[in-house]
Structure 1
């Protein structure tokens, strides 16, 4: 570019001087200042400027459709173009979850100013389009109730109980039992036992066990009968600790799968406890009578326990401090492995044989692959190193709550996670993306973090219902439509 444009003169960049433009007949053959070459160069520069202008215009004209950015509709478009979206089934299921009513646990007899503390919904093996629920509002009294569903509208409501049972006493929640500082409620399918633990400090780890009365398949009543006075036998299984300590408490109970000789395992304040099918309890890891395994601070509190898929004798557990343990229950606990996650663990949900979803405080919700964690130490005697997850779900919000809701539906690959601000979000465990859901995204508890979330199918359903313990209600969210008339 010439310093100044002078009519009739050409600026030579190499020689850094002006040349008078001459006609082609008088100018040298290789001269850049001949009139023909100057004119040709101006035309080429003008064409280049016009091409760049049109390119910029076309960039603004071609825009990605907003529909393509939506996980569901965009996923269908991508599939038609030959692309594979791993989140498409999960996004479709999440967007199809619809609010289908609630079952109140509090009435004139019971009141609550908090969310449901602990909850168990049992639907497998049931009949009559009805589930059974056990829950506690105050961690002192266990209430039982039926969750009936209208077969036409798909909505749940307490008044529907009268369609199944001609007993008005069951229209209200039934007081099942009392227990101090209830910490967890689970169901062992292979033993048909409801398991209830307490974190009340004492010299033992105890679990209350009872078997709901079942009806025959041709009986018109529900599969489980609640409130059957005099027919329910309550049993207490105990694992005694070291007499030097009086602070043993059970934080969480996990039913053992088929293929495991135990009925369940308990995560306590001082290690892992197992219970056999004969109701005898013993210490799997840790701090039993007269001995303990590993560093003294390894088993302060265990808040999460689950078994590895396809390997029913391999258990994953963790808590505070933030160690993720992996142990074969046929081995001595000293041979178990551990991984340091640096944060207290609140939930452990195996995704498949190798991957596991781990939640904890300080907004930790991550997926780890146990095959590629180089610092997974193969002995409790070795110090655990920090681990790097496959990916971290950054939108998860839980700064300090230990008891907060989370559940995983393996079939769809969706994790339902409660946030500490009273909201609930759905996430894909394949990518970590948050999945939009119209009705789930509307959940906002005024009583703080929601403690109870559970995926459980109604009898005969292929997809599960998400049960949410909000305030003193059990809310149901099922895949479907708002109104049956909306279906084509």
Structure 2
């Protein structure tokens, strides 16, 4: 193979031959083998080599600032450059959630060998940094406990309960009531009632109701809600009866009705939807109650999720197994309600806006649907096509758990979802992206799926705290810092 490094000669690639380098006076015009052309090419080649060398050096000198990768500071920089990120405030809040301690519901000597089955944390109504929690470890006993917070560092701990109660025995969790096969615990704010649903099969759907006592005197230093012996109150069992021929009625979920709705709460059962009025009478809402259920027994069996539209308190959303999302106005007859067909069994329904709703279910289904762009059908026919979601949240993991934790904070746009491997992940309700959170991402239960996840603010906070039922402990994750001395 010919080369072009022979002194005094020039190798022409096109003509595939050597030319003797000539001076400018004897060589033809614009000849490639003239001495001037050869010198010019040598200078250009040397400049190209030097430019490439400097480029390779500068690659290692230019490093992206770590501050740009942070949600808060990096988001401000991006905004100044004209790049708007819809998840910037959401990501900043998620990253700032810090583990702030826990309240144990069982002593170390006989700690539970499973995660908390059902949990309710209420911060509304209290006059200080304290919440009240109701939970069950074995689905047969409701325990109550205070969840106090240190005003200095924002941490929760059981020893702080002594600052709020008068008797030492009130420091430990209090046994409120025994209910067979507890399936859900909720709080009705407008009626001030704790609602405990039961999954025990019988001839009717059963819900236990009780009202915690409250201190009336503003000068009383005790918590506004009283638990323990001072908070003992009457318990009432409200039942919705079905067909006496069958004894397989039970409640899966209970949902308190908001202000503006005529009912106190609604119950999702094994055979349809029921409502309870302010007079404590429970009746069937859906057409799948007594006398109607068995006509569609293979296509409608259980309701696992019930919630109300935030802007329309009379509109209820519910669904379960099989995967049908029902929407109806409680002032209308049930046969006028509409439904959407989904691909999998529904476990949670969380309305986000007037039109958008977050739905989770089996086979790792976590989607957001826009009801304005989805064809809805009257409930007289079950042959409906599957609805297409606005977007699907990738990364959510729940293959087959019905009782698994999930909650949404609408203000920040965050959904906290438990995975069936014992982890908890935060996602954006606006885009479906996974949000990084140092302490929340560290959650890993040894007993697999976590059943209880709830956003609830302390009465003095503008942002909510994430409460997670890890083993027999109620863990708190609040926006803040690890050490109060780190605050500027």
TM-score (norm 1): 0.89
CA distance in 2, matches of 1:435, 1:303: 27
CA distance in 2, matches of 1:334, 1:360: 25
Deviates more, 1:223-232 or 1:171-180: 223-232
CA drift of 1:63 comes to 5.0
**Residue in 2 that maps onto 1:449:** 449
CA drift of 1:217 comes to 4.8
**Residue in 1 that maps onto 2:376:** 377
Aligned residue pairs total 484
CA distance in 1, matches of 2:50, 2:386: 57
Q: Secondary structure at the match of 2:170?
A: helix
CA drift of 1:169 comes to 2.0
TM-score (norm 2): 0.89
CA drift of 1:36 comes to 7.2
**Residue in 1 that maps onto 2:337:** 336
CA distance in 1, matches of 2:61, 2:294: 67
CA drift of 1:185 comes to 0.2
Q: Secondary structure at the match of 2:76?
A: helix
Tell whether the 8 Å contact from 2:299 to 2:382 is kept in structure 1 after alignment. Answer: no
CA drift of 1:261 comes to 0.6
**Residue in 2 that maps onto 1:85:** 85
CA drift of 1:21 comes to 8.7
**Residue in 2 that maps onto 1:359:** 360
Are residues 6 and 113 of structure 1, via their aligned partners in 2, closer, same or farther at CA, if it must alter by over 3 Å? closer
Gaps of 5+ in 1: none
CA distance in 1, matches of 2:131, 2:471: 20
Q: Secondary structure at the match of 2:372?
A: coil
Are residues 448 and 53 of structure 1, via their aligned partners in 2, closer, same or farther at CA, if it must alter by over 3 Å? same
**Residue in 1 that maps onto 2:237:** 236
Are residues 225 and 58 of structure 1, via their aligned partners in 2, closer, same or farther at CA, if it must alter by over 3 Å? same
CA distance in 2, matches of 1:56, 1:178: 73
**Residue in 2 that maps onto 1:278:** 279
Deviation per residue, 1:288-331 (Å, 9 max, x gap): 12124984434311111111120111112121112222222222
**Residue in 2 that maps onto 1:133:** 133
CA distance in 2, matches of 1:178, 1:86: 47
CA distance in 2, matches of 1:53, 1:383: 68
Are residues 330 and 57 of structure 1, via their aligned partners in 2, closer, same or farther at CA, if it must alter by over 3 Å? farther
Gaps of 5+ in 2: none
Write the mapping of 1:105-120 to structure 2, written as runs, cut at 5 A.
105-107=105-107, 111-120=111-120
Deviates more, 1:110-119 or 1:286-295: 286-295
Write the mapping of 1:426-445 to structure 2, written as runs, cut at 5 A.
426-445=426-445
Q: How well do the aligned residues superpose, as a CA RMSD in angstroms? A: 2.9
CA distance in 2, matches of 1:130, 1:312: 29
Are residues 129 and 23 of structure 1, via their aligned partners in 2, closer, same or farther at CA, if it must alter by over 3 Å? closer
Q: Secondary structure at the match of 1:286?
A: coil
CA distance in 2, matches of 1:452, 1:329: 29
